[in-house]
Amino acid sequence: MEEKTALCELRHLHTAFRIKDNYYDAVDDVDLTIYSNEVLAIVGESGCGKSTLATTIMGLHNPNYTKVSGEVEFEGQNILNISENEYNKIRGGKIGMIFQDPLSALNPLQRIGNQIEEALIYHTDLDVDKRKQRVLELLNMVGIENPQRIYRQFPHQLSGGMRQRVIIAIALSCKPKLVIADEPTTALDVTIQAQILDLLTNLQEEIKAGIVLITHDLGVVAQMADRVAVMYAGQIVELASSEELFSNPLHPYTRSLLNSIPQMDAEDGKELHVIEGMVPSLKNLPREGCRFASRIPHISESSHEENPVLHEVQPGHFVRCTCWKDFYFKEEDN
């Protein structure tokens, strides 16, 4: 079996946002390793900290309102400690990001060609002609027909799927070692979603990059991911290979997410499982005990750890807290 190479390591990562005079962790003590040539999916409901984790790696938080601590080790250095100028050499060059909303990520006043070319100007020494040639290659690579025409157009002249392809072209323009894709198929129709996912898979195989895929779509995860990290309330609550996670989910939150998906072979009249309650707000988030406990009140308090940690229950399969051992779905209670 081919040995995996660690590309980026997160150690005790915290990202806290200021609310009035206090700071509250949106990413809370996350440890995670991202490997080359793999797709690591990060899943969870909205508000669980997935996008905050991505923007922390990219160094996109305003230090006046955010406190970041811990380590993000990339190419042997903790990039959280480097200057903004040094970060700019990595951001867009060695680490690319596909943003969730392509319309807001693109400059409405600049032509598409110029926006893709910007990273090439900053991170390469290509001359004008070679930069244009590279931009046209990228547009062609992401499946855009007639790249010469698209090169001259503005974002508002393109469809949602076309704009998403442009965002991918920008992210991959300098052949980054790490690509962070934040909800890359949100708001796209099913046909375009499939094309975008195939595109990402093919490009990942071509440039051997590590991909962090942030999504709440478990169907996308099953199709693309090698490993899956499940986030809840700022913490990783389960981490396993994709095959293991779908065949043997253990944490109550993971099982609840999977049980909420409509099934083709479900019994007639069977109601869809609904997870009780909602993700707590940042300010009201419980900082002690199991953070999912309030949403599974039918499980006894003694089932939870006072200070839940990740346990390796099987090789490569980690679960937070011991409540998974006693968890059952309330509708199964006779």
Q: Which CATH code of 1.10.150.170, 2.60.120.10, 3.40.50.300, 3.20.20.80 fits the domain covering 6-225?
A: 3.40.50.300
User: How many other β-carbons are positioned within 10 Å of the β-carbon of residue 328?
Assistant: 12
| pLDDT tens by residue, the chain, 334 residues | 456 889 999 999 999 999 999 999 999 999 999 999 999 999 999 999 999 999 999 999 999 999 999 999 999 999 999 999 999 999 999 999 999 888 889 999 999 999 999 999 999 999 999 999 999 999 998 889 999 999 999 999 999 889 999 999 999 899 899 999 999 887 677 887 888 888 888 878 888 889 999 998 888 899 899 999 999 999 999 999 999 999 999 999 999 999 988 776 656 666 778 899 988 999 989 899 999 999 999 999 999 999 999 999 999 999 999 999 999 998 776 5
Q: In what order do the strands lie in the sheet containing 310-314?
A: 95-98, 178-182, 210-215, 39-43, 227-232, 235-241, 317-320, 310-314
Please give the pLDDT value at position 308.
Answer: 96
Domain boundaries of the chain, sorted by first residue: 6-225, 254-332
Please give the pLDDT value at position 1.
Answer: 41
User: How many other β-carbons are positioned within 10 Å of the β-carbon of residue 131?
Assistant: 19
C-alpha to C-alpha distance for 249 and 254, rounded to whole angstroms: 6
With 0.75 as the threshold, say if the pTM is over it. Answer: yes
Q: What is the largest CA-CA distance in the chain?
A: 72
